[in-house]
Amino acid sequence: MSTGLDVFDTTLQQTNLWLKDLMEHLAIDRRHAYRVLSATLHTVRDRIGPENAVHLGAQLPILIRGFYYEGWHPAATPTKQRHKEDFLDYVSGDVFRGLGIDPERAVRAVFDVMSNRLDPGEIEKLIKLFPDELRSLWPVARNVGSGPSDEAPGWRQ
C-alpha cells in the first residue's frame, strides 16, 4: 500500500523492517515487537539525557522517531541506572508484564536491531554514554573501549 508520498512510504517500510527484525529475534507478533521497541527506546532516551536523546532521535526513521518522543519529559532526564537489573526493570515496567518476554533478551534484540540499522559510528558513540555494566547489553559493546568518547556534534558525555 502506497501513501502517495515517498517520505511516508519510506518510513513505513523502514519501521516495518525494524519490527520484522524484532519479531524474528524474539518470535513475537508485530504488536508486541512495537511495545518492546518503544519501551526500550524510551529507556535509552531517558538514560542518555536530553541533548543526546535528541541526537539519537535524529538518527531514527521518522515513524519510530515519533513514538520515541511520545510521552517524553526532558526535565525528568537523565535517569541514572548504572546497573543492568535497574535498567531492565525500567524497560520492562508495565509493558512486559503478561507478555512472557525476558526483558534482557528483549533489550539485547532491540540493541541488535539498532546496531544493524543505524550508522555503526553513531552506535559506538551512543554505547560510550552507558556505564560498563550496561554496555554489555549491546552486541558491539565488546569493540567499544571504556575510555572517554571521541565527542562528535550532538553526543555529550
In the chain the domains, ranked by start, together with CATH numbers, are 6-74+81-118 (1.10.490.110)
Summarised one tens digit per residue, pLDDT across range 57-99 is 999 999 999 999 999 999 988 988 889 999 999 998 867 777 7
Closest CA to 54 of 45, 63, 66: 45
Is pLDDT above 60 for 101?
yes
Neighbours of 28 (CB within 10 A): 20
Sorted by sequence, the CB contacts under 8 Å of residue 85 that are 6+ apart come out as none
Sorted by sequence, the CB contacts under 8 Å of residue 131 that are 6+ apart come out as 82
Sorted by sequence, the CB contacts under 8 Å of residue 117 that are 6+ apart come out as 14, 17, 18, 21
How many Å apart are CA 125 and CA 66, to the nearest integer? 22
Sorted by sequence, the CB contacts under 8 Å of residue 26 that are 6+ apart come out as 32, 33, 36, 101, 105, 106, 109
8 A C-beta contact, residue 67 and residue 11: no
Per-residue confidence at 102, pLDDT binned at 50, 70, 90? very high
* Coil, helix or strand at residue 138: coil
Residue 146: predicted pLDDT = 47
Over residues 8-36, mean pLDDT:
95
8 A C-beta contact, residue 61 and residue 41: no
Summarised one tens digit per residue, pLDDT across range 103-152 is 999 999 999 999 999 999 999 999 999 999 999 999 965 455 544 444 44
Share of the chain above pLDDT 90, in %: 71
Is pTM, for the whole model, over 0.95? no
